[in-house]
Amino acid sequence: MGELLRLHDRPRLTDGRMVMALDGWMDGGEISTGTAEYLLRKLDAARIGEIDSEDFYILSFPGPMEVSALFRPHTRIRDGSVVSLSSPQNVIYCSQAHNLVFLKGREPNLRWSRYLDEVLDLAVGLGVTLICFVGSVAGMVPHTREPRYFASISDPTLRPMLDRCGIKLSNYEGPASIITQMILAAPQRDIRMMSLVAEIPAYVQGRNARCIESAVRKVAGLLDLSVEFDDLRQAADELEKKLNDIVEGREELATYIKKLEEDYDNQVFDTQMGDLKQWLEQQGIRLD
């Protein structure tokens, strides 16, 4: 296995699956990390190791404090004593009963090729033949509807799985993530890989329980996992009620959301966002 892999246990799976989640660029609403956290908890996945991550991240970035703070480790100090200091981690879990591995980490700032080599070495060493990344992007989807899902795949044999779950193939051009590079590299290790990306409401900030619940259902459907998520559905319903209460008191926002609902129902894909993007930026919500 890779030089930076630190495994405490080495289960050997047969045609194993890996769910991959990274915080950072494609974790809006905490959809990526939130989905993995929920599944690994529900499926009793045990921590089996980590990737030594020190070389993959920028911890000190020059610039104003508000920019530099985004890169620095997080610390907690109580009564003058340092209680904790947390740096970026890439942690590996396994649920042998479900033939499933999880990798929960952060998208690296540096050495993408080295990072993906470590991940693919891990997959090969544990008998994983399918990797499913789940992530999100902000878009023109109303909170009253399901997120839109788009997928990128390394192998056309994955299309029937996506069709079964109502997931469209992506048509995208623009900045890439390490997941795109990994999709290109995976076939060289005889691994199939898919990237499942949820388009979530741009105007909802912070953790989005409703979209996490939706993503959990999608991943469970793709991988034939039996998961009970009544508690997550309750959190999703509570969030939607809270959002509806807020919208009722803001006529301009309600008008925009009604337009989003009409476009969604008519399958109109507005990538320019126009007036709504301008309005969101006036509220301090940037999409770039």
Burial tier of 137 (Cβ tally within 10 Å: 0-12, 13-18, 19+): buried
% of the chain surpassing 90 pLDDT: 63
Distances (CA, A) of 20 to 80, 200, 249, 257, 259: 37, 19, 39, 32, 34
How far, in Å, CA of 28 to CA of 50, rounded?
24
198: nearest Cα among 28, 49, 82, 54: 28
pLDDT of residue 92: 98
How far, in Å, CA of 228 to CA of 225, rounded?
10
The pLDDT of residue 20 is above 80 = yes
Mean per-residue pLDDT over the chain, rounded: 89
End-to-end Cα, the chain, rounded Å: 38
- Per DSSP, the residues of 212-230 read HHHHHHHHHHHTT-----H
* pLDDT, average across residues 165-193: 95
pLDDT of residue 3: 83
Structure-block tokens of residue 179: 């997941």
Q: Categorize the per-residue pLDDT at 284 as very low, low, confident or very high, splitting at 50, 70 and 90.
A: low
pLDDT of residue 246: 81
pLDDT of residue 114: 96
pLDDT of residue 281: 60
How far, in Å, CA of 94 to CA of 44, rounded?
8
pLDDT of residue 287: 46
The pLDDT of residue 271 is above 60 = no
Q: Categorize the per-residue pLDDT at 263 as very low, low, confident or very high, splitting at 50, 70 and 90.
A: confident
* pLDDT, average across residues 1-19: 91
* pLDDT, average across residues 149-166: 96
Write out the E strands in 181-255: 192-201
The pLDDT of residue 247 is above 70 = yes
- Delimit the domains of the chain by residue range: 5-53+88-244
Domain at 5-53+88-244, CATH homologous superfamily? PAC-like subunit (3.40.50.10900)
* pTM of the entire predicted model: 0.88
